[in-house]
Structure 1
Amino acid sequence: MSNKTNPGNYFEDFFVGMQIAHATPRTISAGDVSLYTALYGNRFAVQSSSAFAGSVGLPEAPIDDLLLFHVVFGKTVPDVSLNAIANLGYAAGRFLTLVYPGDSISAVSEVIGLKENSDGKTGTVYVRSVGSNQRKETVLEYVRWVMVRKRDAGHPALAPVVPELPESVAVSELVVPASLAVSDYDTALAGSSFAWEDYEVGERIDHVDAMTVEESDHMTATRLYQNTAKVHFNQHAGKDGRFGRRIVYGGHVISLARCLSFNGLANAFRIVAINGGRHVAPIFAGDTVYAWSEVLAREELPGRSDLGALRLRLVAAKDQSCEAFPLRLDERNYDPAVVLDFDYTVLMPRRAAFRPGP
């Protein structure tokens, strides 16, 4: 048989310091934006309306921050996680440059850590991935770690290297788009009158709404991102796996929960950091996703009186409403309904930026 196809890397193929340039560059179109909206129902005003984006100093509506995240993630899959069992977590993520329809995105990754698991059949691979546009500007960077199968369980393990990762991205490292000016922010059009000052540390917000995952939706989403991970597509192989069916791409859950969070956080219009995140449990077609948020920190931005930063914990649960804010049964164990625990930072207008009411 021909060996021209790509079997993907197995755990023993990786080494610390390995540099990977991922194929293929992807031009993001207005059609991609429309399909993303159709999948998740995104309603954040800056990404939904070029007129509203213009009112805050942007040339047009930028693409949703998580659409960018998924596109960069998808570029990395054939080289990093084609043979993965599970994507485990995220850290040190920064959104650096806004992306607009027509921009072309490419990605590179560096292996920064490796640790074989005790079963001898799998290992954890840590990579730092960087997405760039056609002008070679970095638009996104983040670390993720993934459990990858070994090709040969008898292959000797290397000494483990586990990178030290920050608990969160420091405020001083957050990047605010240079042209962003929210001095005349229209809360009526944005959908909420709540400003940065209205959110208290420790406050929890039930986002109330929910969305059921359809087989066609998560399959379409994963193809949209050119994510080739076998666990999301191949039911013929999946029926013999641990769950007996295809697993929904974890990023699909992040986007569902983020879009549900509009109800309660409508003015949290720009993601600037991914501090950490964990896919606690898999979900499958037919599961219904609910979401709630907790305010972890409210931080001032140096030199900005019109904008502040909110560090948020976004929790998604399946087939259980979030009225009781389920998270953990105890210090070590999550509530069985929880599928996502995601720590990220957003920009939000301060009250001084709000347009006076009629």
Structure 2
Amino acid sequence: MSKTNSGYFFEDYHVGQVLNHATPRTLTEGDVALYQALYGPRFAMQSSAPFASPGPVTLVPKLDDLIVFHTVFGKTVPDISLNAVANLGYAEGRFLEPVEVGDTIRSSSKVIGLKQNSNGKTGIVWVRTTGFVSGDVPVLDYVRWVMVRKRDAAAPAPDPHVPDLAKAVDPATLKVPDYVDWSNYDFAAAGEPHRWSDYAIGEIIDHVDGVTLTDPEHMMATRLWQNTAKVHFDVTARPDGNRLIYGGHIISMARALSFNGLANAQLIAGINAGAHANPAMAGDTIYAWSEVLDRAETPNANVGALRLRLVATKGKAGDLCGEDGKYLPEVLLDLDYWALIPR
């Protein structure tokens, strides 16, 4: 009997299946430093201890929300996407509790949907994943769906079940962390003067700057999150002989680029939807733009929520879909999320 893990294939899943993922991960200051080196985000809450903790006791800067996302996601890969063709999308994501350096994260997923593709060689698997600290305290919950290879194309297909997912996270359920005190928010230190009320629904923000992707950076990032998906490392795993850039790498790069125009969108509170529209490879130069989709109040009088569409693209700001309604080939990421911003 083989002692090695070849991963799950499409026919190995069933609706209701619970997968408790291996290797809990303790986050350290080293993770924070590597994240900063890879993406260079400049949001003040994650960069400055005095800004993040303006009270009499200065604590450490806050852990970037996407570090939590990547860590939770990485735990799931050996069970969900080791044999994936592509990670397709996200929905119903909520950041539930703050995570600090020194916390240990574990992940668990439940299969909530299955549908074989018409080619009979692959299928779509929907899972709801939850990340926990201190054993059983949920800190992040989201749905994602993945295209997974079949081990045997002749294996019978399961009855299709496509979950009914919310189009957006209800802003009334968004968590404003208890540590957030923006009553005397320092706009000069944050880098821009724009408040919640300065953003108009329908507004397009071109984040201007671009970044050329390289294999060493994305492979280092993918290893950092212990993401073992073959397509990110092994050039024989894809017919074109290219390493596929991890979609989360694109999310973090686009989020870092969005600082220019959204410097005060300090925290991610929820993920409404997301799609990796087209594959990204080393050598691609990506840009980012955002559209303001909605605004919502929160129970905290000093904090508002912006619903933002963040697009990573090789094209120009504002271009998303063609006349056929499909994503343009230069669009890499379409991420719909809620961000917290001072009012």
TM-score class normalised by the smaller sequence: over 0.9
Pairing of 1:235-250 with structure 2 (within 5 A): 235=235, 237-238=236-237, 241-250=238-247
Question: Take 1:137 and 1:173, find their aligned partners in 2: how far apart are those partners?
Answer: 17
TM-score (norm 1): 0.93
Q: Which moved more, 1:171-180 or 1:73-82?
A: 171-180
How far apart, in 2, do the equivalents of 1:336 and 1:248 lie? 16
SS at match of 1:7: coil
Aligned-pair distance for 1:134? Answer: 1.9
Rounded to whole Å, the distance in 1 between the matches of 2:165 and 2:316 is: 33
Paired residues of 1:55 and 1:185 also in contact (CA < 8 A): no
- Assess if the C-alpha contact under 8 Å between 2:257 and 2:288 holds in 1: yes
Looking at structure 2, the residues matched to 193 and 234 of structure 1 have their Cα atoms a distance apart, in angstroms, of 45
Aligned pairs (5 A) from 1:147-186 = 147-186=147-186
Q: Deviations over 1:87-139 (max 9, x none)?
A: 01000000011111111100000000111111111110000000011252111
Q: Hey, what's the Cα distance between the residues in 2 that align with 1:331 and 1:136?
A: 46
Paired amino acid for 1:344: Y
Distance 1:242 1:277 in 2: 26
Q: Secondary structure at the match of 1:223?
A: helix
Distance in 2 between residues matched to 1:135 and 1:118, nearest whole Å: 41
- Match of residue 258 from structure 1: 255
Quote the Cα distance in structure 1 between the aligned partners of 2:328 and 2:213: 20
Question: What's the secondary structure of 2:260's corresponding residue?
Answer: helix
2-structure distance, mates of 1:80, 1:305:
40
Gaps of 5+ in 1: 351-358
Q: Show the counterpart of 2:340.
A: 347
Distance 1:330 1:54, change over 3 A: same
1:327 to 309, 317, 320: 320
1:143-222 paired onto structure 2 within 5 Å: 143-222=143-222
Query: For 1:177 and 1:286, how far apart are their aligned partners in 2?
Result: 38
SS at match of 2:208: strand
Paired residue type of 1:266: A
* Structure 1 position 336, deviation (Å): 2.0
Deviation, 1:242, is 3.2
Once the two structures are TM-superposed, the CA of residue 60 in structure 1 deviates from its matched residue by 2.8
Q: Which moved more, 1:78-87 or 1:332-341?
A: 332-341
- Number of aligned residue pairs: give it: 342
Tell me the residue number matched to 1:43. Answer: 42
Q: 2:280 matched to 1:283?
A: yes
Is the Cα contact below 8 Å between 1:91 and 1:143 reproduced in 2? yes
Partner of 1:353: none
Give the superposed CA RMSD.
Answer: 1.3
Q: What is the letter of the counterpart of residue 265 of structure 2?
A: A
Could you tell me whether the CA contact under 8 Å between 1:114 and 1:160 is conserved in 2? yes
Match of 1:316 among 297, 306, 312: 312
In 2, Cα distance between the equivalents of 1:254 and 1:214? 15
CA distance in 1, matches of 2:239, 2:188: 48
Other-structure match for 1:127: 127
SS at match of 2:24: strand
SS of the residue 2:53 aligns to = helix
Q: 1:219-266: per-residue Cα shift (whole Å, max 9, x none)?
A: 10000000000000112x14xx23321100011001000000000000
Rounded Cα–Cα distance in structure 2 between residues aligned with 1:92 and 1:290: 26
Letter in 2 for 1:50: A
Aligned to 1:356: none
Q: Which amino acid aligns with 1:67?
A: I
Task: Compute the displacement of 1:326 (Å).
Answer: 1.3
Percent of residue pairs identical:
56
Match of 2:290 among 293, 300, 303: 293
Q: Over residues 136-189 of structure 1, what are the superposed CA-to-partner deviations in whole Å (9 max), with x where a residue is unaligned?
A: 211100000000011111111121111100000001111111232210110011
Paired with 2:323 and 2:95, the residues of 1 have a C-alpha distance of 33
**8 Å contact kept, 2:303–2:341:** yes
Per-residue CA deviation, residues 58-84 of structure 1 (Å, 9 max, x unaligned), is 843221111110111100000011000
Maintained 8 Å contact 2:27/2:103: yes
Change (3 A) 1:165 1:178: same
Unaligned runs of 5+ in 2: none
Q: Is the 8 A contact 1:326 1:337 kept in 2?
A: no
AA matched with 2:188: A
Partner of residue 6, structure 2: 7
Moved more, 327-336 or 6-15: 327-336
Equivalent position of 1:18 in the other structure: 17
Are the aligned partners of 2:32 and 2:63 in contact in 1 as well (CA < 8 Å)? yes
Report if aligned partners of 2:199, 2:292 keep a CA contact under 8 Å in 1: yes
1:305, 1:101 → 2: CA distance? 28
Paired amino acid for 1:347: L
Provide Cα deviations, 1:9-54, integer angstroms capped at 9, x if missing partner: 0001000110111010001110110100110011100011112110
More moved, 330-339 vs 207-216: 330-339
